[in-house]
Chains A and B, each alone.
Chain A
Amino acid sequence: DAGVIQSPRHEVTEMGQEVTLRCKPISGHDYLFWYRQTMMRGLELLIYFNNNVPIDDSGMPEDRFSAKMPNASFSTLKIQPSEPRDSAVYFCASSFSGGRQPQHFGDGTRLSIL
């Protein structure tokens, strides 16, 4: 079975540019999560969706960050404008509800803002 697919795997861009990260969850999963991982702050939950609807975005650091899930098989996390402190590894994860199922993670996008 295909796992969670994230693209791009690596992104290097200059400060001020718009960055779009993409995620394809596992088919049939109805929850989707976006995380950010840094050495300083560890793993942080940014936002999560259920059935394409955002449920909790309290982890989104600033208005520069936005996330969408237009359908069950695609989500984006956008940063506009980007800043060097946004440099991190961003993970997408998905899960199936009904009995506390584990989350399945993608391999992440390593983002570097110069």
Chain B
Amino acid sequence: GDSVTQMEGPVTLSEEAFLTINCTYTATGYPSLFWYVQYPGEGLQLLLKATKADDKGSNKGFEATYRKETTSFHLEKGSVQVSDSAVYFCALEGGSEKLVFGKGTKLTVNP
């Protein structure tokens, strides 16, 4: 079945550091890919998405490119802020309307 693997956390960075959170997937067909973010005490919020190969999703300085050849959708940000501290989830949707989530990566950004 479909699955998502994302890097284990936690990740701790200093403010203005570069962020990469790796995500790879296994799916039949051509899934849509998502990154969700969860701030403490809140539900998951959509951060960005890509629906086909080579699409780049971007939002709030975060970017991720749908790489079919490497089955990856890595999340990047050039300069993180304290306010980016949260848990990040990679997910795919393979046509059934169900999302398959990775286990989440907790990011802490220190001032």
Contacts and interface: CB of A to CB of B under 8 A. Distances in A.
Q: Are A and B associated in one complex?
A: yes
Interface of A: 4, 31, 33, 42-43, 45, 48, 50, 56, 91, 93, 95, 97, 99-100, 102-108
A45 B42 contact: no
B15 interface: no
Contacts of A93: 43-44
A56 B97 CA distance: 11
Contacts of B42: 107-108
A100 B32 contact: yes
Contacts, number: 45
A48 B34 CA distance: 19
Contacts of A103: 46, 99
B interface, how many residues as a size bin?
Answer: 20 to 34
Contacts of B44: 43, 91, 93, 105
Interface of B: 32, 34, 36, 41-46, 49, 51, 89, 93, 95, 97-99, 101, 103-104
A48 B100 CA distance: 13
Give chain A's interface secondary structure class: strand
A97 B46 contact: no
A39 to B, nearest CB: 10
Contacts of B34: 102
21 contacts: A31-B97, A33-B98, A42-B101, A42-B103, A42-B104, A43-B44, A43-B104, A45-B99, A48-B97, A48-B98, A91-B44, A97-B97, A99-B51, A100-B32, A102-B46, A102-B49, A103-B46, A103-B99, A105-B43, A105-B45, A108-B43
Contact of A43 (B45, B89, B98): B89
